[in-house]
Amino acid sequence: MVKEEVVKDIKETKVEMKDLESKYLDKGIGTTVELQIAGIKKVEDPESEYNLSSEDFHYVIETTDGKLMSINSWALWNELRKCLDNARKDGTIDAIEGVKIRVEHAAKKDYKVTLIEE
């Protein structure tokens, strides 16, 4: 008796080094990240584990080089908002897009966001 062999359509894709990189920027304790903002999105998802505390949403910064930074901490969001608002008020910036910032995460809930001026 001959066994039947079932052949499925299989797609193989070569994995490159770039495929191993995360799209998300590391903002762990002790890190400093410099980035240029392409935009900021509010992501509303009641089921997400990344939401801000007591909320059904979080924010995501999209960078000009295609990276993402999730903002799921009120401490980080407040520092970012304060930095951008102060820069807007003093006339340094007039839009969020294109702004360069430095995000420092010294300890739990201890963030510092500063504008990088050229």
- E strands of 28-115, at which residues? 32-44, 57-63, 68-71, 100-107, 110-115
Report d(CA 29, CA 65) in Å as an integer. Answer: 23
Mean of all residue pLDDT scores within the chain:
91
pLDDT of 10 above 90: no
Sheet bearing 110-115, strands edge to edge: 68-71, 57-63, 32-44, 100-107, 110-115
The arithmetic mean of pLDDT across residues 4-22, rounded, is 77
Going from N- to C-terminal start, the domains of the chain cover 20-115
Half-sphere exposure of 23 (CA within 13 A, CB side): 8
The arithmetic mean of pLDDT across residues 61-68, rounded, is 95
Q: What is the predicted pLDDT for the residue at 7?
A: 62
Q: What is the predicted pLDDT for the residue at 6?
A: 62
pTM of the complete model: 0.79
Which percentage of the chain shows pLDDT scores above 90? 71
